[in-house]
Amino acid sequence: MADKTAPTTAHTGTPLVDMRNISIAFGGIRAVDDASIDLFPGEVVALLGHNGAGKSTLIKILSGAYKRDAGQIFVNGQEASISNPRDAKKYGIETIYQTLALADNVDAAANLFLGRELMTAWGTLDDVAMEAEARKVMGRLNPRFQRFKEPVIKLSGGQRQSVAIARAILFNARILIMDEPTAALGPQETAQVGELVRQLKTDGIGIFLISHDIHDVFELADRVCVMKNGQVVGTARTTDVTQDEVLGMIILGKCPPGAIPGPGALKIAA
Amino acid sequence: MTDTTSNPQVDTARASELGPIARFLKATEIDTRMLGMIGALLLIWVGLHVISSLRLGVNPLDFDSRTFLTPRNLWNLSVQTSAVAIMACGMVLVIVMRNIDLSVGSAEGVIGMVMGFAQVHFLVRFVGLELGNPWIWVLALVIGLALGLLIGAFQGFIIAYLEVPAFIVTLGGLLVWRGAAWWVTSGQTVAPMDATFQLMGGGPAGSIGATWSWIVGIVACLAVVFALFNGRVQRKRFRFPLRPIWAETLMGAVTCAVIMGAVWLANSYPWPVGIVNRYAAANNITVPEGGLFIAHGIAIPVLMAIAVGLIMTFITNRTRFGRYVFAIGGNPEAANLAGINTRWITMKVFMIMGVLATIAAAISSARQNSSTNVLGTLDELLVIAAAVIGGTSLAGGSGTIIGAMLGALLMQSLQSGMVLLGVDSPLQSIVVGAVLVIAVWLDTVYRKRV
Ligand SMILES: Nc1ncnc2c1ncn2[C@@H]1O[C@H](COP(=O)(O)OP(=O)(O)O)[C@@H](O)[C@H]1O
Ligand SMILES: [Mg+2]
């Protein structure tokens, strides 16, 4: 814990999420290696890195999909025990997975409420109420969406992504994880997601955003955290580094002066 | 007024592209696949009727009593279908979750033997209940249900928690439970069954008679009308798109006509002469000229199957558990990430399958008035075929209870028809096996196109 990256000084108080020295290996591959990252209320932290850098794996540890081999997670300063997705949801952590994680054979409403269905007084599924809620939340994200009765496998990539996003914001998340949320979206919907991110920010929600679009990242994120080969190269405020410097972090692992280096930073003989 | 969606562009544009048949299907929300199956069933019935008539050299339109489309034959068909239809309901859930249960026929066998042994030997000789004591059939059934639940839980546990593939676990079960069925009495047949227990097998006593059948039919029709009406009110309340009135009326009318037609058929099949005369003598009724007509009405096993079908439909459509079963079948990883306890749901599905195997065992052994260690042999094939023919996808994630029950009726129609036509049993097996393979092939073709 001695080498833990100190939180950026601009933030005072306890971070919403503080992941410390997280490691996980699959077989021989150290997918995440001693990674530390934190997130404050109302903040957007972008996670960057090549494919296979370990971004999805790191956030899946936070969302309870994977069990970490080592490290600690603190939520609001309290150590959190997250060993499955249900635990994570209890802490107000909602996730939009890169794979979307939708049950393809059921409709949008059923997916939105999967695991947290609305029930009638008789203890049966309240499909009508769930559809009504689904229409509300989908209206906010994708007003043209009308295919509420169809299994989501019949929807377009963008519509499916909207469903996955709607599910994450439906339950008043305090911590939102977005793993490449705009990969299948057109420019208009992407702008809508950007708008949504800003709106959620003002509500005090902390967001981890994984994206390949460095331009978007600089628009939306307060800080960036770059990963390479499972390790954190460095963390920086978007105001303290340039886009080229961040690209240098991603490609070479070179940590610029404006960033706080992590264990994965390229070690140059000083 | 039928289309209250806020974006008329999307839906009307699509509706106008459709032909009249497609428009009809869209308005009534009938599944084309279901329609295809009903068509196939009717085709088989008419075909068997015509062939059986021609074989006898009679006009098919005379509906000779030895042909296929007669009250007697259809009534028997309904009773024979019950056990397989009940197990097919459970198999839908099993297959929807991407599993399989090859052990249902053998489980049915051992449970039937244990229930038979309980009522004929154990409860009478060792517990000391007198023959005919109503506790006998109740306790025998409770023992059977407990055993079915246990078998299901055991297999389900190995599949869900020890992660042994269901195919292997239940293939093992196929042998284990069949062997166990033999062990109960070292292969000896157990008979006769308790008099009340026997009612579950149908027959003149195990049917509810004309009056009650009409009452059941009318209540069912009222329920259908109420369900349609209630669905409409619910959708109106939330301003969701409604089906056109004519479509609702048509659906209600057709369903009620089918129900009342079935009741009429069951009420057209009289008790056999010998039983009527004995009954008349016992109750001091003078048999009129030309014989006394006492109708069977709906058989108790058929009512049991309908009840199971309704309960299972309710479970799949209206409960959390049912929703989870389908979600897991559609994408197990997504279900897991949504916080669903997929293992426990898997285990529960197999437990339900075990309970349904018990009900099927009760019906089959009651019908034969005996338990033998071969009870239910090859039923797993009929049950799986019923589910698959009824639209349950072996890839998981889709299937309906009503479809599986119709599938069971279709399989049983083929089998009974072949018996009627005097097809010998090896050829029957060949046909059943071929139909199963063809059905799965058609399913594959259908799914590629839709
Ligand atoms: N479930 C898994 N089993 C085995 N290896 C995995 C698994 N998930 C991820 N990995 C490996 O971990 C590394 C990091 O992957 P990932 O987190 O998906 O990267 P990113 O999201 O940054 O593209 C990759 O080498 C990947 O192959
Ligand atoms: Mg990824």
Q: What's the pLDDT tens digit per position in B288-313?
A: 887 889 999 999 999 999 999 999 99
ipTM: 0.87
CATH number at residue A72: 3.40.50.300
Q: Is residue A187 part of a domain?
A: yes
- Give percent above pLDDT 70 in chain A: 94
pLDDT of amino acid B244 = 87
Please report which ligand is nearest the Cα atom of A97. 2
Phi-psi region of A172 (alpha: psi -120 to 50; beta: other; left: phi over 0): left
Helix pair B209-237, B245-267: axis angle to 10 deg = 170
Q: Do B334 and A114 touch (CB under 8 A)?
A: yes
Provide the mean pLDDT of chain A: 90
Q: Give residue-wise pLDDT tens across range B170-186.
A: 999 999 999 999 999 99
Q: Whose CA is closest to A179, among A215, A224, A207, A209?
A: A209
Q: Is residue A184 part of a domain?
A: yes
pLDDT of amino acid A268 = 64
> If DSSP codes are grouped into helix, strand and coil, which group holds residue A224?
strand
In contact, A262 and A36? CB cutoff 8 Å: yes
- Give percent above pLDDT 70 in chain B: 96
Q: Do B10 and A146 touch (CB under 8 A)?
A: yes
pLDDT at B6 over 50: no
Most confident of A2-16, A33-47, A190-204, B432-446: A33-47
pLDDT of amino acid A11 = 63
Q: Is residue A161 part of a domain?
A: no
Mean pLDDT of A64-83: 95
Q: Give residue-wise pLDDT tens across range B256-300.
A: 999 999 999 999 999 998 888 888 888 888 888 878 899 999 999
pLDDT at B70 over 60: yes
Q: Whose CA is closest to B207, among B261, B266, B260, B287?
A: B266
pLDDT of amino acid B12 = 42
Beta bridge partners of A119: A125
Q: Is residue A145 part of a domain?
A: no
Kindly give, in sequence order, each residue whose CB lies less than 8 Å from that of residue A28, ignoring residues fewer than 6 positions away. none
Q: Do B320 and A125 touch (CB under 8 A)?
A: yes
Please report which ligand is nearest the Cα atom of B333. 1
pLDDT of amino acid A270 = 45
In contact, B104 and B85? CB cutoff 8 Å: no
Burial class (CB in 10 A: 0-12, 13-18, 19+), A247: middle
For residue A215, the enclosing domain spans 16-92+173-261
**Which residue out of A37, A55, A57 has the highest number of ligand 1 atoms within 8 Å of its CB and is therefore the one to mutate?**
A57
In contact, B23 and B15? CB cutoff 8 Å: yes
pLDDT of amino acid A22 = 96
The span from the CA of B377 to the CA of B107, in Å, is: 10
Residues of A in Cβ contact (< 8 Å) with B319: 123-125
Mean pLDDT of B95-116: 97
Number of domains in chain A: 1
pLDDT of amino acid B11 = 43
Q: Give residue-wise pLDDT tens across range B114-159.
A: 999 999 999 988 888 888 888 999 999 999 999 999 999 999 999 9
Q: Is residue A107 part of a domain?
A: no
pLDDT at B371 over 70: yes
Q: What share of chain A is helix, strand, coil (3-state, %, to 5)?
A: 30, 25, 45
Mutation pick from B333, B337, B342 vs chain A, by most beta carbons of A within 10 Å, is B337
CB distance A228 to ligand 1 below 6 Å? no
The span from the CA of A152 to the CA of B330, in Å, is: 10
> If DSSP codes are grouped into helix, strand and coil, which group holds residue A23?
strand
Q: Is residue A10 part of a domain?
A: no
Q: Give residue-wise pLDDT tens across range A5-30.
A: 444 445 668 899 999 999 999 998 99
Give the confidence band of B104 by pLDDT, cuts at 50, 70, 90. Answer: very high
CA distance B238 to chain A (A): 7
Q: Do A115 and B338 touch (CB under 8 A)?
A: yes
Q: Is residue A257 part of a domain?
A: yes
Q: Give residue-wise pLDDT tens across range B328-357.
A: 999 999 999 999 999 999 999 999 999 999
Q: Is residue A190 part of a domain?
A: yes
The span from the CA of A234 to the CA of A253, in Å, is: 8
Give A26 Cα–ligand 1 centroid separation in angstroms.
8
Q: Where are the alpha helices (DSSP H) in B97-165?
A: 104-117, 134-160
- Atom index in ligand 1 nearest the CA of residue A66 equals 1
pLDDT of amino acid B17 = 64
> If DSSP codes are grouped into helix, strand and coil, which group holds residue A68?
coil
pLDDT at A231 over 60: yes
